[in-house]
Amino acid sequence: MSPWLWQASDYVGSVVSISVAFNNTTQVLQSATVHRDDGCLFHTIVLDVPSDQVKAKRLPAPIDGAGDRTYTKTQLNNQGLTVLADILAIQITAEP
């Protein structure tokens, strides 16, 4: 069921997360929101195929403090992410 959620915590428990909204019937991605707690060490969600770093997709969170950054369906499609299976098939991590 939509949304799909993932999060990472830094050493003090601050979180960067991604919430991906998708159509429950077709699983077509609708949008994604990257959230960052104030002071979190991590700034970016990385969607990657470990064997091919050239194709890593980076979705930055706000870098100037806490907050959300929303990515539209078009922005996700431009990254090669069109359906939920695209996200589930790759490794997800966070980077500073």
- Domain ranges in the chain are 4-95
Under 8 Å between Cβ of 43 and 95: yes
Of the listed ranges 30-34, 59-63, 83-87, the one predicted with least confidence? 59-63
Residue 57 has pLDDT above 90, yes or no: no
Q: Alpha carbon of 5 to those of 9, 17, 51, 64: distances in Å?
A: 14, 7, 24, 23
Averaged pLDDT of the chain: 91
Q: Alpha carbon of 88 to those of 65, 70, 85, 92: distances in Å?
A: 28, 19, 5, 9
Mean pLDDT along residues 14-27 = 96
First-to-last C-alpha distance (Å) of the chain:
30
